[in-house]
Amino acid sequence: MERLSEFLNAMLLDEFSREVLKGSLMAYKALDNPLRLSQFSTGIRELIGHTLSTLAADDEVKASSWFVVETPDGRPTRRQRVKFGIQVGMTDAAVAALQVDTAEIDVAIRKVGDGLSKYTHVRPDTLKVDADEAEAFACEAVATFLEFFEILVDCRMSIRRAVEDSVDEHALEVFTQDVYNEIDILSTRSSVDAVRIEKSEVVAIGPAFITYAVSGQIYVDLSYGSKSDFRNDMGAEISTDFPFSMTTTAPVGNISQFENASARIDTSSWYGEDDDDGEDLFLKITDY
């Protein structure tokens, strides 16, 4: 139980959730408290409810292409909130293509939820529960909630892996099609040689779009002098590189169809704003 709760604590969304988990575990560990399982169950049930409402707000769930009304008031069911928490607006087919297994998690969470509801209400048959039975149930509750987070993370990692090559190509395309002002002002003419992706991640999945964040190094050639200067061996060129960051989006139905790229290139090293240990750019000058 201790290890499971530590792993779960690291996955929780906010400080409130961590405090609720802490309190629930304190109640569970109070062996002389006849209501310990009831108080533990109340806390964990509220924790699951808070997590699902945070990850799966009504309007966002209902905006997903896969959502259908299943309740009299039109609000999402717990099953739909669990689904949205994991895959958000992505279709079942898209998630299956990523080989993310979501088949059993809803059943497991529903089973644990029913147990939590049972023990929350204090009745003669829930006041004194066999110690082994209580431990088994508490471990199952924490382990199931942890599994939910693990599947959620697995889904996002699978998306990232699936689009890695496409992200590389997109970043190069973005920079070669549009030489950004940060570079263009450094020389007479500027061109992009290559782009190296060092980190890419899925930062958000919504009902309609996935947002990616990418960072790395951009390799550029900075030319000084006119064409006639180069013909007369009076021009110069520097090859150097700068760190960059970029965000881009793609529809949930086509996770590698990137659009709306927004990039920033950090050229502060060029102006001597980095550490004094930085490399001497003038060593990279090539005369023509």
Three-state DSSP string of the chain: CHHHHHHHHHHCCCHHHHHHHHHHHHHHHCCCCCCHHHHHHHHHHHHHHHHHHHHCCHHHHHCCCCCCCCCCCCCCCHHHHHHHHHHCCCCHHHHHHCCCCCCCHHHHHHHHHHHHHHHHCCCHHHHCCCHHHHHHHHHHHHHHHHHHHHHHHHHHHHHHHHHHHHHHHHHHHHHHHCCCHHHHCCCCEEEEEEEEEEEEEEEEECCCEEEEEEEEEEEEEEEECCHHHHHCCCCEEEEEEEEEEEEEEEECCCCCCCEEEEEEECCHHHHCCCCCCCCCHHHHEEEC
Q: How do residues 120-166 score in pLDDT, each as one tens digit?
A: 877 776 667 777 888 888 888 889 888 888 888 888 888 888 887 88
Length of the chain (residues): 288
pTM of the model as a whole: 0.69
78-87 and 36-55 helices cross at what angle (nearest 10)? 60
Q: How do residues 85-127 score in pLDDT, each as one tens digit?
A: 888 888 888 888 888 888 788 788 888 888 888 878 777 766 6
Maximum Cα interatomic distance, the chain, rounded to a whole number of Å: 98
Query: What confidence score (pLDDT) does residue 285 get?
Result: 41
Q: How do residues 49-89 score in pLDDT, each as one tens digit?
A: 999 999 889 999 999 888 999 999 999 988 888 888 888 88
Query: What confidence score (pLDDT) does residue 229 get?
Result: 52
Find the angle CA(245)-CA(246)-CA(247) to the nearest 5 degrees: 140
